[in-house]
Amino acid sequence: MPEPDGSDSEKNLFVMLDTAIAALKTPVEGNDVEKEKAAAAIDKTNRGLKNSLNNVLTVRAELGTQLSELSTLDSLGSDRALGQKLQMSNLVDVDWNSVISSYVMQQAALQASYKTFTDMQGMSLFQLNR
**pLDDT in the model for residue 60:** 97
Phi-psi region of 111 (alpha: psi -120 to 50; beta: other; left: phi over 0): alpha
DSSP track, 35-63: HHHHHHHHHHHHHHHHHHHHHHHHHHHHH
Cα–Cα nearest to 48, from 84, 98, 12: 12
**pLDDT in the model for residue 121:** 82
- 32's CB contacts (< 8 A; 6+ apart) are none
pLDDT in tens, the chain (130 residues): 556 555 666 778 898 899 999 999 988 888 888 899 999 999 999 999 998 999 999 999 999 999 999 999 999 999 999 999 999 988 888 888 988 999 999 999 999 999 999 888 877 766 665 5
Tell me the domains of the chain and their CATH numbers.
Answer: 13-94 (1.20.1330.10)
**How far is the C-alpha of 27 from the C-alpha of 6, rounded, in Å?**
28
**pLDDT in the model for residue 5:** 59
**pLDDT in the model for residue 92:** 85
